[in-house]
Amino acid sequence: MWCDFSRYIISNYAHAHKIVEVGVGRFPLVACELEKHLKLNIIMTDIKPSHEGVIQDDIGHPHLKIYKDAELIYSIRPPEELHPHLEKVSRITGADLIIKPLSTDSINTREKMELINYKKAVFYRRR
């Protein structure tokens, strides 16, 4: 499934100059896969960085310069209470937003998000 999720981003954001993953935690697999294929540095953020490659940021009180000029902001399994903050930052910056929730979670955003079924990956996108 993670391969399919990564493939979707690679095929739809090959032109991107900047992509940000919010809440990477201890799971940088997708960001590493994107960096390898897109040949760009994926910005990884988390409120509690797990290693030096992750920038400390609280999406509830974001440092907007981190997200400025991003074509895509995505988050894997973020808690539902963070969805409105992700939506707000993507709206302010003009970036597309992808939320890959847990299979049992719903989406908690003001704007409707498109459900994407890409091979074995299921997620929501707002352009």
Task: State which CATH number among 3.30.9.10, 3.30.1280.10, 3.30.300.130, 3.40.50.150 fits the domain covering 2-94+111-126.
Answer: 3.40.50.150
Q: Quote the crossing angle between the two packed helices 2-12 and 29-38, to the nearest 10°.
A: 40
Q: What stretches in the chain show pLDDT beneath 70?
A: 1, 104-105
Query: What's the confidence (pLDDT) of residue 1?
Result: 66
d(CA 114, CA 127): 9
Q: Looking at this protein, which amino acid is placed at residue 69?
A: D
Rounded to whole angstroms, what are the CA distances from 40 to 32, 68, 80, 119? 10, 16, 29, 25
pLDDT at 103: 73
Q: What is the pLDDT of residue 27?
A: 87
User: How much is the pLDDT for 67?
Assistant: 98
How far is 110 from 30, CA to CA, in rounded Å?
Answer: 27
Q: What is the pTM of this model?
A: 0.94
